[in-house]
Chain A
Amino acid sequence: MQKVLVYDGSFEGFLSVVFKVYEEKLLQVDIQKTGNVQASFFGDSEEVITDKAHADRVWNGLKKKLTSFGRNQIYYSFLSEISSVENTLLDYIQQVFKSKENIEKDFSNVTVLKLSKITKSVGREKHRMEAFVRFKLTKDNLYFANIEPDFNVLPLIAKHFKSRYADQKWVIYDIKRNFGLYYNLENVETIVMDFPKEFDFTKTSEDFFADAELEFQELWQNYFKSTNIESRKNMLLHVRHVPKRYWKYLSEKQPF
């Protein structure tokens, strides 16, 4: 009979579930996040408590079977938050442990191929966020940007921004998932912020942002127009590279 295992949504929580599956030799499981649990009439459900020691044991086991390429596939796919990706990941991890050889590049294996495709999408979103973040300078001399990525890529981009903007304070805030990264000139912390009711994420209100901020946005918009070659216009290509769902926070696309 199928058993529903509920976890807290964290990566460690997920690995704790994997640990439990092995420890109790569970055969048919369905992994779900707390809060997303779908009523099941046919199985019993159980909450799995996140246990760092358990998570580490699974992860260390995977280190022996996979290179960083394969482990990235697992972590990136997990961050995709695609519905029931945890079950695909469990299937993958079970195959990894079962096989004598490293299967991470067995691209003709359906599960491996599926994860490699999800990883590619998440990687693309990560790269897009590295490109499409637009910082605005606040009155407190902090560079602020808000994003709404398709996948939960904030944990993946911290390093990139930290090594690049080492001498300025910055915040990148995911308004969809309501948490952000704050760099305080020393290290990057995860933060949750409360925004005033009237705060409009698509605008640059003078109440919050530095005086010169709008000028630089205008210069950037001007540059964006001047550098275009009208006789080569190709909106299809343009939109493929910069999909419309990202436009609302891109300063060169304002007024949106």
Chain B
Amino acid sequence: MSFERIKEKLNILADAAKYDVSCSSSGSNRANKNKGLGDATGMGICHTYTEDGRCVSLLKILLTNHCIFDCAYCVTRKSNDIKRAAFKVQEVVDLTINFYRRNYIEGLFLSSGIFKNADYTMERLVSVAKKLRLEENFNGYIHLKSIPGASDELMREAGLYADRLSVNIEIPTKEGLKRLAPDKNREDFIKPMKKVKNEIIQYKAEKKIIRSTPKYAPAGQSTQMIIGASGENDYQIMTASNFFYKKFNLKRVYYSGYVPISYDSRLPQIGTEVPMLRENRLYQTDWLMRFYGFHVNEIVNETHQHLDLDIDPKLSWALRNIHEFPVDVNRADKRMLARVPGLGMKSVYKILHARKFRQLNWEHLKRLGVALNRAQYFIVCNSNVYERRDLEPTKIKGLILQNSKSKFRKATSSQLNLFG
């Protein structure tokens, strides 16, 4: 292959793919087969991190950035005057294999602009994955984008070669989508997602009966929403997210703070700050839903439509529900321990084990790594010393903010000034 030409294509098509934030390479169970190349059984590995601090786990590229659609929020949109390029199927295969052999990556994340039509595009994506699996005996991780509107038959085939499939919702509400991506409709996103969900269920059921049933998208499906492009509030975003987790058994929903790339008047202008703090709060909420046993409406609901920026969503919930505290760390169940601000799931795990041996006191908790600056107002332990004052939630919040250093302090103070 011509090195200079490949280099140019790689630069264009990696640059265009970078707004897709997923780079996960975990959750699959594809083992090395017949002494081939690669293994995707372990936990994900970030082989490096970009200067923006994001994990680089996969070779994330577009097959092409030619696109027939004109979605306002997308750099690859038809009306944008940018350099266009397209990889040949074999070029992507060669790059993936050579990067993988050098331990640069865990595998490939292949997406594409939509050229000609949905099926034509999806077919090319599938053929890359197929070639990697069947001709190169490649057992690394493959994440393919499901192209909105692709046929059921192609989606079925895609899942046989890919570990993960994803289709990006991008805009959390129907109305927003209509305004910013008039060529697309929600049904086209939903269709491949539904097909993949049903296939996963079916293949799993068959595998229980016939062991030789092939794997189908073993790392499941994910999606992504753009944050701060179309005016949705956190309640709308998390409700949409919860809907997709529940309805389509998604493994992950990603939240991508909108990076302004256009002078389109429907969107935040170039130079507007990327809402990274808000994005972080949404991820925290997502974690509370998935790992901490919270229901989405406990965090955001009709009366609390916006997440606090200055404190994390768990602390915010605790302050609104102060009647649930204090919690006795030596007696409380796992569910309630997980709800204490300052206790992560790792601390909860350690507490549950450690308290079998002795009653825990403040010194123990501190050594275990509990964030006492937050937790102290919400727990009692084996000690006579504890917070006896009947503090108002606003007072507790003040004390915590005063005694903690947030990496976002600068961001919160400037964002809060807007309202101040």
Question: A250–B50 Cα gap in the complex (Å)?
Answer: 13
Interface 0/1 of B332-376, CB less than 8 Å to A: 000000000000000000110111111010001001100000000
Whether B38 is near chain A, meaning CB under 8 Å from some CB there, is: yes
Residues of the A chain whose Cβ atoms lie less than 8 Å from the Cβ of B6: 219
Question: A242–B55 Cα gap in the complex (Å)?
Answer: 10
Q: How far is the CB of A167 from chain B (nearest CB, A)?
A: 5
Whether B144 is near chain A, meaning CB under 8 Å from some CB there, is: no
Interface 0/1 of B1-20, CB less than 8 Å to A: 00100110011001101110
Whether B127 is near chain A, meaning CB under 8 Å from some CB there, is: no
A133 touches B48 (CB 8 A): no
Question: A226–B9 Cα gap in the complex (Å)?
Answer: 11
Q: How far is the CB of A164 from chain B (nearest CB, A)?
A: 4
Residues of the B chain whose Cβ atoms lie less than 8 Å from the Cβ of A232: 52-54, 257, 259, 274, 276
Residues of the B chain whose Cβ atoms lie less than 8 Å from the Cβ of A215: 3
A164 touches B99 (CB 8 A): no
Question: A174–B103 Cα gap in the complex (Å)?
Answer: 17
B14 touches A106 (CB 8 A): no
B103 touches A145 (CB 8 A): yes
Residues of the A chain whose Cβ atoms lie less than 8 Å from the Cβ of B360: 108
B101 touches A135 (CB 8 A): yes
The contact of B101 among A110, A168, A223, by CB within 8 Å, is A168
List A145-168 residues whose CB lies under 8 Å from chain B: 145, 160, 163-168
Residues of the B chain whose Cβ atoms lie less than 8 Å from the Cβ of A227: 14-15, 17-18, 50, 56, 60
B358 touches A108 (CB 8 A): yes
Question: A233–B360 Cα gap in the complex (Å)?
Answer: 42
Q: Report how many A-B pairs have Cβ atoms within 8 Å.
A: 154
Question: A251–B17 Cα gap in the complex (Å)?
Answer: 22
Question: A252–B50 Cα gap in the complex (Å)?
Answer: 10
Closest chain A residue to B11, Cβ basis: A226
Whether A40 is near chain B, meaning CB under 8 Å from some CB there, is: no
The contact of A106 among B18, B55, B56, B353, by CB within 8 Å, is B353
Interface residues in A, total, Cβ within 8 A: 55
Main secondary structure on A side of the interface with B: helix
Question: A238–B52 Cα gap in the complex (Å)?
Answer: 6
* Segment among B39-47, B188-196, B198-206, B209-217 that sits at the interface with chain A: B39-47
The contact of B50 among A109, A136, A229, A251, by CB within 8 Å, is A229
Residue among A133, A163, A251 having the largest count of chain B Cβ atoms under 10 Å = A163
Residues of the B chain whose Cβ atoms lie less than 8 Å from the Cβ of A231: 259-260, 274
Residues of the B chain whose Cβ atoms lie less than 8 Å from the Cβ of A201: none
Question: A132–B105 Cα gap in the complex (Å)?
Answer: 10
Whether B29 is near chain A, meaning CB under 8 Å from some CB there, is: no
Whether A103 is near chain B, meaning CB under 8 Å from some CB there, is: yes
Closest chain B residue to A166, Cβ basis: B35
Q: How far is the CB of A161 from chain B (nearest CB, A)?
A: 8
Whether A241 is near chain B, meaning CB under 8 Å from some CB there, is: yes
A223 touches B353 (CB 8 A): no
Q: How far is the CB of A189 from chain B (nearest CB, A)?
A: 17
Question: A107–B208 Cα gap in the complex (Å)?
Answer: 39
Whether A131 is near chain B, meaning CB under 8 Å from some CB there, is: yes
Residue among A108, A127, A132, A133 having the largest count of chain B Cβ atoms under 10 Å = A108
Whether B37 is near chain A, meaning CB under 8 Å from some CB there, is: yes
A127 touches B53 (CB 8 A): no
A135 touches B103 (CB 8 A): yes
Question: A130–B106 Cα gap in the complex (Å)?
Answer: 11
B37 touches A168 (CB 8 A): yes
Whether A44 is near chain B, meaning CB under 8 Å from some CB there, is: no
B367 touches A113 (CB 8 A): yes
The residues of B with any CB-CB pair to A shorter than 8 Å are 3, 6-7, 10-11, 14-15, 17-19, 31-32, 35-39, 41-42, 45-56, 59-60, 95, 98-99, 101-104, 137, 257, 259-260, 274, 276, 350-351, 353-358, 360, 364, 367-368
**13 pairs across A/B with beta carbons < 8 Å?**
A105-B354, A107-B368, A136-B102, A143-B101, A223-B14, A227-B14, A232-B259, A232-B276, A234-B51, A234-B53, A236-B53, A238-B52, A241-B55
State the 10 A-B residue pairs at the shortest beta-carbon distance, nearest first: A237-B53, A105-B353, A232-B52, A226-B14, A228-B50, A241-B49, A107-B354, A108-B354, A166-B35, A234-B53
